[in-house]
Structure 1
Amino acid sequence: MENTIYQSMISANQLLEKQTIISNNLANISTTGFKEKFITTIQNYDIKNLYNNTNNKITKEYHNLSTGSLNHTERNLDLFIKDDGWLTVKDRKGQEAYTKNGHLKINSNGKLTIQDHEVIGNNCNIKIPKNINIKILSSGVIISIEKKNNYISEHKIGALKLVSLPSQDLVEKENGLFYLKQNNFLNQYTGTVPHSKKIHVQSGFLEESNVNASKNMIEMISNARQFEMQMKMISMCDKNAEYANQLINVNN
């Protein structure tokens, strides 16, 4: 009976963890570039101890990295990063991180930012001069456009660092940015992921969240019902234990 209660408590905790993930997915359904997350629980069997593996479970997090729907914004600083490409930014600690959110802004210091994280350039520091228009080519090259005396001049002022990353080696942190789990993909000289010429962007578009609202709502309802069932199981076992104690006391 104690084992039944213990197993129900473990299942209930796992369901609560799943509900937290689903709630976060639904909360970010309108967040640009957000990737749906889900968790799975795997039974890890020990061949040498088959009869004592009831609690030997591993919980793993996964992300759905499929492309979300595209929103045509017609804004030059809005970018859709194609295929398995990622934009590179600098987090609060100065560490290199990656995002699919292509909603770029220019801060007061002339730096390109995404959600207040500075965008990293490809072997350059990106500085946007004041009072000029810019466009971003599909290769990530940033061009300044100036019009003087009916003459339009264009100059390269930098380039975005675009990277291609293996999805199985990515992990998302609380700040919403992605990082590499392993270091074997890093450049041995710079300690960072190298720029990829194969990755391209499309200006004027933003990738929306890929969260499936109806699917997550169904899973949330299902988890709630399973949680209720586990709570009833615990309550029933507790009452049975109470009745058993009463019978023992009567017999004594």
Structure 2
Amino acid sequence: MDRLIYTAMSGAKQILEQQSTTAHNLANVSTTGFRAQMDTFRAVPVVSNGLPTRTFVVDSTIGTDFRAGPIQQTGRTLDLAVQGPGWLAVERADGTEGYTRSGSLKINENGVLQTEGGLNVLADGGPITIPPNVKISFAKDGTISSVDSGNIPGATIEIARLKLVNPDVGNLERSSDGIFVTKDRLPADVDANVGVISGAIEGSNVNVVDAMVNMISLARQFELNMKMLKDADSNAAKADQFLALS
């Protein structure tokens, strides 16, 4: 009887964890460049001195949906969308290198090019500083050029080039801050084949309809597991009655 209780109890707990993941995906349906998280269930035997006849249900994170999101034209100079596979390299809060598809950029009060979340955007040699009183433009290969914004236009000057990378997605994992990092923690190499689209951003790849259907399905599974627990309790009570009669 307790075999059923192990499965139903752990299954209900992990379903709640998957509901949290689905809710997290839905909450980021409007987040620029967001990649949906995917989970699955797996069975883990309970190891003890006896035979492993009892099994826990465990929620296993199997990875990330790396499919591209929709490209949305904004016309804003500091908006970038990575075209095809690839990532923008950024400097995380701890100083390590991370990767994002969120190309909604800004220039802070010190002239440093940053993401909307305040992370420094990296070039081959480090953070990028934009000179004051200039207009900038982005080329497809990530080259940042400036033109003097005074009354008399000056010559175009190359400031820096974005570090655009395309590491194997099998070597990428999502960190706690939502930025992707390499599993081996080594910086990815620059990939000349990665390009950007200026004046556009990439939307989230979360499918709202699929996520809502998944939430309903998980709710039904939770109800089923709770019913199994009630059935196990009822069966145990009836078994006690038979034992008392005998």
TM-score (norm: length of structure 2): 0.90
Partner Cα distance (2:152, 2:7) in 1: 77
Q: Paired residue for 2:48?
A: none
CA deviation map 1:105-159 (0-9, x unaligned): 1111111111111111112541111221111111111111114553432111111
Say yes or no: does 1:7 pair with 2:7. Answer: yes
Aligned alpha-carbon RMSD (Å):
2.3
Cα separation, 1, equivalents of 2:59 and 2:13: 13
For 2:206 and 2:66, the matched residues in 1 are separated by 10
1:71-90 equivalent positions in 2, closer than 5 A: 71-90=72-91
Corresponding letter in the other structure for 1:21: T
- The C-alpha deviation readout for 1:184-217, integer Å capped at 9, x for no partner, is xx4xxxxx21211111111001000010000110
| Distance in 2 separating the partners of 1:39 and 1:53 | 23
Give 1:193's aligned amino acid. Answer: A
* Alignment deviations for residues 26-64 of structure 1 (CA, whole Å, 9 cap, x no partner): 00000000011111234579xxxx975844867232211
Partner of 1:107: 108
1:124 to 1:154, Cα distance in 2 relative to 1, 3 A:
farther
Aligned-partner Cα distance in 2 for 1:52–1:247? 25
Distance 1:31 1:235 in 2: 41
Amino acid at match of 2:112: K
Match for residue 144 of structure 2?
A: 142
Q: Which deviates more, 230-239 or 97-106? A: 230-239
d(CA) in 1 for partners of 2:166 and 2:141?
A: 13
User: How far apart, CA to CA, are the structure 2 residues paired with 1:98 and 1:39?
Assistant: 22
Question: Are 2:145 and 2:159, in contact at CA under 8 Å, matched by a contact in 1?
Answer: yes
1:153 correspondence with 2:148: no
Aligned to 1:70: 71
SS where residue 41 of structure 1 aligns?
strand
Contact 1:147/1:153 (CA < 8 Å) preserved in 2?
no
Q: Is the 8 A contact 1:74 1:204 kept in 2?
A: yes
TM-aligned CA distance change 1:141 to 1:4, over 3 Å: same
Amino acid aligned to 1:101: S
Q: Please tell me whether residue 212 in structure 1 is matched to residue 207 in structure 2.
A: yes
1:17 and 2:17 aligned: yes
Contact 1:84 1:165 in 2 (8 A): no
* SS of equivalent residue, structure 1 residue 242: helix
Do 2:44 and 2:55's aligned partners in 1 also have CA atoms closer than 8 Å?
no
SS state at 1:20 partner: helix
Assess, with a 3 A threshold, how the Cα gap between structure 1 residues 239 and 97 changes in structure 2: closer, same or farther. Answer: same
What is the CA distance between 1:182 and its match in structure 2?
2.9
The one-letter amino acid paired with 2:18 is: K
| Alpha-carbon distance in structure 2 between the residues aligned to 1:44 and 1:207 | 39
Contact 1:44–1:58 (CA under 8 A) maintained in structure 2: no
Q: Which residue is 1:163 aligned to? A: 165
From the superposition, tell whether residues 79 and 242 of structure 1 become closer, same or farther in structure 2 (CA, over 3 Å): same
Distance 2:104 2:190 in 1: 20
Structure 1 residue 19: Cα displacement: 0.8
Identical amino acids, percent of aligned pairs: 37
- How does the TM-score come out when normalised to structure 1? 0.88
Cα contact 2:133–2:150 (8 A) shared by 1? no
